[in-house]
């Protein structure tokens, strides 16, 4: 690591001010000039700040940056960065050969006087690593959890300094992401979207950065889309009907695909689901990504590649218990329908009371969230035994439960909270992903029939899961590297 001693906010701001090669502008809307203020307070700000401004009035803001539908959103942030950065080399051409220009911007909503909103904001930096070098962007979305607006503003000021310092002095993206909450905690500030892009970071996979946000405790959940583009969960899922399939996807098999397609047929026919607002998520939890407490980043990207190749959106979460996932999604979807797709043996674990020993209200407390308003579980059947044909479905589930839990199960069934996935492709139920993975790793033939064709193509083309690349593919890969 470059830094042995972790610098304070003031020390970071002063080092930037004292660097003759760093110069730029600040545009901050919604929470005062909190980031710029840190540079003014430590002295020497004239060596860093070309301009600092706020355009609070919507008419003024639109006149400067262009009209937009919302003011606290990524589009507005990018409009601000476009406008402010363009002015720097245009108005300061004499500094171009010796200056690393930057434009910092944020558009933020802090707590209002009545405390009826949630503090959040978009923060961005457009910057050069060397004078006359290419331009890069760092964009994050934050949730501010301080219960006082002044404290939220202070937190924003600290994070802004951390972002500028990290991008200007740290070469490793891991260091940048680790440093964002220096002087803060995730209880005060949560970073749930991070993107570092530009010619200097062309080989950086921001899906891996999404994983690290969750892995390093900056947030509990992060998202990316089929094209690998990182997404901000609150924006992507706001007032949407969400259907979630959790799994290891190592690799994706015909069973995984049928679980999604069959349950989606049920979900879209629910009377309170608006078909045009359905979002289907494949979820990976840290538990499903880790082996012996360690996460293999290469293995994660293999799984991400395959899921994305199938056109799926991925949610990475640290919500091991399903009820915590539902609590998180319910806050975003604002009462819209949420569907969870589970195998029946996963449902059996949900009914195990020992899972909830840490909850004061036990299984009833967890079920209050899991089966709350507009939540439904779609249960995929399983074989009783791999060498048999007898199915295990909800029809048989009650007698598998302890006597005291059976009334609770009947209550859920009678209130339409549980439903069998009908017309499942039971001919695929003998497929076990661990067995398929073992065949791939051993170089055996025949595994191809257990996975979709796109998954087979991705595994063979890129040598995923230790699949031996052919000589032709190996040469192509070496040439591209």
Q: What is the mean pLDDT of residues 40-69?
A: 93
Provide mean pLDDT across the span 215-236: 96
Same domain, 198 and 306: no
Q: What is the pLDDT of residue 229?
A: 95
Q: pLDDT-derived band of residue 386, with 50, 70 and 90 as boundaries?
A: confident
How many residues are recorded in the chain? 481
226 domain-assigned: no
- pLDDT of 300 above 60: yes
pLDDT, residue 479, reads 41
Specify the number of domains making up the chain: 2
In a domain, 320, yes or no: yes
| Cβ atoms of 54 and 107 closer than 8 Å | no
Residue 174: give its domain's CATH number.
3.90.950.20
Answer yes or no: do 149 and 257 share one domain: no
Same domain, 197 and 298: no
Report the C-alpha gap between 20 and 415 in whole angstroms: 68
What is the overall mean pLDDT for the chain? 93
* CATH number for 379: 3.40.50
The residues near 338 (Cβ < 8 Å, ≥ 6 apart) are 241, 242, 243, 244, 326, 329, 330, 374, 375, 376
Q: Is residue 459 part of a domain?
A: no
- Domain residue limits at 274: 235-428
Q: Provide the percentage of residues in the chain whose pLDDT is more than 70.
A: 97
Burial category of 1 from C-beta neighbours within 10 Å (exposed 0-12, middle 13-18, buried 19 and up): exposed
In percent, how much of the chain has pLDDT > 90? 85
Domain-terminating residue out of 428, 453, 469: 428
**209: how many CB neighbours lie within 10 A of its CB?**
20
Given its phi and psi angles, is residue 463 left (phi above 0), alpha (psi -120 to 50 degrees) or beta?
left
- Provide mean pLDDT across the span 180-204: 96
Please compute the mean of the pLDDT values over residues 385-406 and round it to a whole number.
Answer: 90
Higher pLDDT among residues 405 and 1, named by residue? 405
Shared domain check, 250 and 147: no
Mean pLDDT lowest among 110-124, 210-224, 231-245: 110-124
Q: Please report the pLDDT score of residue 470 as a whole number.
A: 62
- Regarding whether 245 and 188 lie in a shared domain, the answer is no
Of 386 and 191, more confident = 191
Among 70-79, 159-168, 203-212, 387-396, the minimum mean pLDDT is found in 387-396
Report the distance separating Cα 281 and Cα 290, nearest Å.
20
- Give 462-476 pLDDT, tens digit per residue: 899 989 876 334 444
At residue 105 the predicted structure's pLDDT band, cuts being 50, 70 and 90, is: very high
Give a yes or no: residue 410 inside a domain: yes
Mean of pLDDT values over 97-103: 97
Question: Do the domain assignments include residue 433?
Answer: no
Q: Are 281 and 231 in contact (CB under 8 A)?
A: no
> Which of 154, 189, 204 is a domain's end point?
204
| Tokens encoding 56 | 């609070």
Per-residue 3-state assignment (H helix, E strand, C coil) for the chain: CCCCCCCCHHHHHHHHHHCCCEEEEEEEECCCCHHHHHHHHHCCHHHCEEEEECCCCHHHHHHHHCCCCCCCCHHHHHHHHHHHHHHHHHHCHHHCCCCEEEEEEEEEECCCCCCCCCEEEEEEEEEECCCCCCEEEEEEEEEECCCCHHHHHHHHHHHHHHHHHHHHHCCCHHHHHHHCCCCCCCCCEEEEEEEEECHHHCCCCHHHHHHHHHHCCCCCEEEECCCCCEECHHHHCCCCEEEEEECCCCCCCHHHHHHHHHHHHHHHCCCCCCHHHEEEEEEEEHHHHEECCEECHHHHHHHHHHHHHCCCEEEEECCCCHHHHHHHHHHHHCCCCEEEEEEHHHHHHHCCHHHHCCCCCHHHHHHHHHCCCCEEEEEECEECCCCCCCEECHHHHHHHCCHHHHHHHHHHHHCCCEEECCCCCHHHCCCCHHHHHHHHHHCCCCHHHHCCHHHHHHHHHHCHHHCCCCHHHHHHHHHHC
Local confidence band at 116 (pLDDT 50, 70, 90 cut-offs): confident
Please check the confidence at residue 292 and state whether its pLDDT lies above 80. no
**Do residues 182 and 278 both lie within one domain?**
no
CA atoms within 13 A on the CB side of 34: 23
Q: Is residue 451 part of a domain?
A: no
Is the pLDDT at 97 greater than 60? The verdict is yes
Q: Say if residue 253 is in the same domain as residue 398.
A: yes
> Is 460 contained in some domain?
no
In the chain the first and final C-alpha atoms are separated, in Å, by 26
Mean pLDDT of the region 393-412: 95
Query: Using one digit for the tens of pLDDT, what is the confidence trace for 321-379?
Result: 999 999 999 999 998 999 999 999 999 999 999 999 999 999 999 999 999 889 999 99
Q: Which of 389, 413, 428 is the last residue of a domain?
A: 428
**CB neighbours of 302 closer than 8 A, spacing ≥ 6?**
462, 464, 465
Question: In this structure, are 422 and 273 located in the same domain?
Answer: yes
Q: How far apart are CA 50 and CA 126, in angstroms?
A: 15
Summarize pLDDT for 147-159 with one digit per residue, the tens.
Answer: 999 999 999 999 9
Shared-domain flag, residues 415 and 351: yes
Q: What is the largest CA-CA distance in the chain?
A: 82
Residues 179 and 271 in one domain: no
| pLDDT at 1 > cutoff 60 | no
For residues 252 and 183, membership in a common domain is answered with: no
The reply to whether 136 falls in a domain is: yes
Average pLDDT over residues 287-293: 81
- pLDDT at residue 2 greater than cutoff 80: no
Instruction: Give me the mean pLDDT over the 126-143 stretch.
Output: 97
Q: Does residue 325 share a domain with residue 245?
A: yes
């Amino acid at each position: 690591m470059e830094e042995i001693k972790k610098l304070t906010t003031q020390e970071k701001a002063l080092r930037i001010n004292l660097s003759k090669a760093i110069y730029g502008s600040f545009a901050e809307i919604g929470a005062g000039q909190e980031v710029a203020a840190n540079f003014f307070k430590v002295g020497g700000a004239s060596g860093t700040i070309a301009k600092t401004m706020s355009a609070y009035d919507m008419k003024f803001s639109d006149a400067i940056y262009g009209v937009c539908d919302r003011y606290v959103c990524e589009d507005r942030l990018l409009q601000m960065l476009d406008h402010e950065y363009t002015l720097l080399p245009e108005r300061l051409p004499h500094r171009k050969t010796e200056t690393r220009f930057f434009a910092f911007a944020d558009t933020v909503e802090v707590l209002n006087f009545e405390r009826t909103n949630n503090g959040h904001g978009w923060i961005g930096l457009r910057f050069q690593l060397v004078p006359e070098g290419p331009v890069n962007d760092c964009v994050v979305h934050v949730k501010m959890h301080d219960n006082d607006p002044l404290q939220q503003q202070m937190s924003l000021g600290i994070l802004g300094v951390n972002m500028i310092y990290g991008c200007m002095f740290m070469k490793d993206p891991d260091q940048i992401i680790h440093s964002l909450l220096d002087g803060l905690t995730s209880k005060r500030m949560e970073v749930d979207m991070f993107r570092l892009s530009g010619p200097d970071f062309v080989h950086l996979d921001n899906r891996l950065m999404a994983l690290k946000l969750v892995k390093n405790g900056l947030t509990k959940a992060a998202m990316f889309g089929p094209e690998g583009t990182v997404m901000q969960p609150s924006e992507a899922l706001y007032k949407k009907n969400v259907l979630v399939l959790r799994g290891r996807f190592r690799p994706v098999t015909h069973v995984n695909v049928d679980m999604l397609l069959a349950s989606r047929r049920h979900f879209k026919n629910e009377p309170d689901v608006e078909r045009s607002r359905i979002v289907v998520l494949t979820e990976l939890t840290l538990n499903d990504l880790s082996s012996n407490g360690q996460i293999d980043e290469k293995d994660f990207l293999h799984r991400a590649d395959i899921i994305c190749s199938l056109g799926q959106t991925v949610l990475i979460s640290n919500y091991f218990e399903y009820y915590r996932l539902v609590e998180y999604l319910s806050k975003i979807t604002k009462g819209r329908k949420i569907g969870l797709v589970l195998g029946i043996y996963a449902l059996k674990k949900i009914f195990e009371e020992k899972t909830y020993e840490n909850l004061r209200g036990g299984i009833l407390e967890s079920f209050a969230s899991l089966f709350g308003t507009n939540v439904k579980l779609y249960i995929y059947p399983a074989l009783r035994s791999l060498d048999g044909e007898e199915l295990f479905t909800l029809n048989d589930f009650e007698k598998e439960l302890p006597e005291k839990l059976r009334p609770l199960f009947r209550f859920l069934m009678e209130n339409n909270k549980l439903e069998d996935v009908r017309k499942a492709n039971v001919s695929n139920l003998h497929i076990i992903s661990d067995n398929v993975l073992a065949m791939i790793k051993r170089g055996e033939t025949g595994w191809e029939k257990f996975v979709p064709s796109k998954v087979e193509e991705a595994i063979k083309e890129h040598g995923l899961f230790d699949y031996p690349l052919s000589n032709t593919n190996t040469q192509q890969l070496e040439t591209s590297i």
